Structure 1
Amino acid sequence: MRPIVRSGAGARLGAVLLFAGPLVSWVAEFVTAAAWQHPHYSPFHNWVSHLGLTGPSQVAFGQVGNSPLGAVMDIDWVLYGVLLIVGALLVFDLRQGALPIAIVVLAILSGVGVALVGIFQGSNADVANGLIAFHTSGAQGVMLAGNTMAIVVGVNGARIGLSRGRRVASIVLGTVGLVAFAVFMADVFTGWAWNIGMFERAVIYPIMIGHVLLARGLLAAWPAEHRRPADPVSRRIVGAGPGRGPRPGAVR
């Protein structure tokens, strides 16, 4: 079965970038949420994107937004998008046909989507000037493309070099994310908005975990010829006893 990933140092760097993106984002989310001022920030109740609100406290989309480190979260989302796009381009070999192209396109859609969330805030100002369309389309784009990418990666994981466990996990994560997306959108459009942050994360976190699984699987499956070769076994001709010449080929 022909692989669809590149080899060499560039591909290995790409895998590292795919691994770093979600980890950096989780750290940024934790730090930004810890700095959140009154009222108390709840990952179950509050919108994730409200962590990126900058400026004074405001009520946006029915919730109070008061994130003193909002710029940190915004920068991280843009960085995550860049790492994802560059990592996918370095890892997947577009010369191998439609499949790697499809995966890279999904990665680009996801990366652009998460970057748009960081560039255009879910604020009252962006609602008034119409820029909120970029925020919402970016958020929904990464939710759909990111979870679809996880499923495609899992289904075709053998050509990527993923273990069976990682392949199954990727499919499950993407499926859970898409189901959660439907529930999340229903929660939004019905106006119920019950634990909106919980359902939002149920869509987003499977994507992030999927990126970690993909990156770790790539690094674990690195071709043997690109690993450090073992030290050659020293060979020494063993001399024969007195009156005998050396025995050709005798080694120890």
Structure 2
Amino acid sequence: MTPIVRSGGAVRTGAVLLFIGPLVSWAAELITASAWQEPHYSPFYNWVSHLGLTGPSQVAFGQVGNSPLGAVMDTGWVLYGILLIAGTLLTLDLRGGARPIAIVALAILAGAGVSLIGIFQGSNANVANGLIAFHTYGAQGVMLAGNVMAIVVGVNASRIGLGHGRRVASIVLGVFGLVAFGVFMADVFTGWAWNIGLFERAVIYPIMIGHVVLGRGLVAALRPGADLPKPGPTRSEPTRVRRSDRTAQSV
């Protein structure tokens, strides 16, 4: 088994960044939601992206957006995206082949997507000027790439240093998020929009939990007495052993 994780202090730094990225976003969400003005904000009903609306109250995508601390939410999303990309690049060794490259590519897509959500708000102004496309692409990008990343991380858990429990958790989270994405999109395109905020979070939160699992698992693997996966023996090593055995037998 060939590990796909870097060595040295870079791994520890990257693991911490992966772990705190979702926490930063959740903290920003809680702070922003607590400042939400009338009407009452509900995580089941309201679009999560409406928390990032700045400026006066407006009706966007069929819901009232009135978020006085919208800039806090936007900043949280952008920071989350940056931390995700940086953490993955510091953690995974791209020289390990297609596996780490695939995970890093998915992390970049997801990180760029969540950052675009914070940069380009889902506002009426951006609908009018066409910039809403960046918001939409960002949202769908992070929903798909983030959940696929969780599955790929789980499949390669032993090469990253994650235990069986985290391996299963990562895969289950990714599969759940992708299924929820289909339900969420059906809820949107049918125009039903029932509890749209709930289904939207059912897609997003598994991604965030997956990054916590990944970062926490790497931190645990770096504790004294716990080792990251080591490369298996090279082809030359067993050859040398067999020769030494034959020499010992001849003597």
Between the two proteins, what is the percent identity of the paired residues? 80
Distance apart, 1:180 and its partner CA? 0.2
Q: Read off the aligned partner of 2:106 and give its amino acid letter.
A: L
User: Corresponding residue for 2:243?
Assistant: none
Post-superposition Cα deviations, 1:188-240, rounded to whole Å, max 9, x if no partner, equal 0000000000000000000000000000111111275899xxxxxxxxxxxxx
Distance 2:7 2:21 in 1: 21
User: Corresponding residue for 1:116?
Assistant: 116
Q: Read off the aligned partner of 1:24 and give its amino acid letter.
A: V
Distance 1:49 1:18 in 2: 22
Question: Does residue 29 of the first structure (1) align with residue 39 of the second (2)?
Answer: no
Q: Counterparts of 1:1-252 in structure 2 under 5 Å?
A: 1-222=1-222, 224=224
TM-score (normalised: structure 2): 0.89
Q: Read off the aligned partner of 1:72 and give its amino acid letter.
A: V
RMSD: 1.2
> Residue 64 of structure 1: SS of its match in structure 2?
strand
Q: Specify every segment of 5 or more residues in structure 1 that has no aligned partner in the other structure, as ranges.
A: 228-252
Find runs of 4+ consecutive structure 1 residues off by over 3 angstroms.
223-227
Contact persistence 1:38–1:66 (CA under 8 A) = yes
The structure, 1 or 2, with the larger RCO (C-alpha pairs under 8 Å, 6+ apart) is 2
Post-superposition Cα deviations, 1:151-207, rounded to whole Å, max 9, x if no partner, equal 000011010010100000000000000000000000000000000000000000000
Distance 1:197 1:17 in 2: 27
Q: Specify every segment of 5 or more residues in structure 2 that has no aligned partner in the other structure, as ranges.
A: 228-251
Distance 2:26 2:76 in 1: 9
Distance 2:43 2:223 in 1: 41
> Residue 59 of structure 1: SS of its match in structure 2?
strand
> Residue 121 of structure 1: SS of its match in structure 2?
coil
Post-superposition Cα deviations, 1:40-74, rounded to whole Å, max 9, x if no partner, equal 00000000000000000000000000000000000
Distance 1:226 1:147 in 2: 28
Contact persistence 2:24–2:79 (CA under 8 A) = no
Contact persistence 1:8–1:226 (CA under 8 A) = no
Distance apart, 1:6 and its partner CA? 0.7
Q: Read off the aligned partner of 1:131 and give its amino acid letter.
A: L
Larger-gyration structure (1/2):
1
Contact persistence 1:16–1:215 (CA under 8 A) = yes
TM-score (normalised: structure 1): 0.88
Q: Read off the aligned partner of 1:26 and give its amino acid letter.
A: W
| Structure with greater helix percent | 2
Contact persistence 1:109–1:141 (CA under 8 A) = yes
